[in-house]
């Protein structure tokens, strides 16, 4: 699954550390999300989307062929 997390974070001038603290996760979690090495739990996905005042689909891009 792709995401726009890094793009959104940069647009708003937010450091990984600051976002991680705000969401209650580690900076490594944010880094892993941005690099596509980790898919968030549904709760974390909601927290991230709400932090940016967006819908989950505006942050995380799901494609059917991601699981084939």
Q: How far apart are CA 34 and CA 54, in angstroms?
A: 17
Number of domains in the chain: 1
| pLDDT (0 to 100) of residue 10 | 98
| pLDDT (0 to 100) of residue 67 | 59
Average pLDDT over residues 49-59: 98
Q: What is the CATH number of the domain that holds 60?
A: 1.10.260.40
- Specify the DSSP element, H or E, that contains 60: strand 60-61
pTM above 0.75, yes or no: yes
34-65 in b/e burial notation, b at 16+ Cβ within 10 A?
beeeeebeeebbeebbebbeeeeeebbeeeee
pLDDT tens sequence across 8-49: 999 999 999 999 999 999 999 999 999 999 999 999 999 999
State which residues form the domain around 35.
2-67
Q: Is the pLDDT of residue 68 over 60?
A: no
């Amino acid at each position: 699954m792709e995401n726009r997390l890094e793009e959104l974070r940069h647009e708003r001038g937010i450091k990984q550390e600051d976002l991680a603290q705000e969401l209650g996760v580690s900076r490594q979690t944010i880094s892993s999300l941005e690099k596509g090495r980790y898919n968030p739990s549904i709760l974390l996905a909601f927290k991230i989307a709400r932090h940016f005042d967006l819908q989950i689909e505006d942050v995380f891009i799901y494609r059917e062929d991601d699981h084939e």
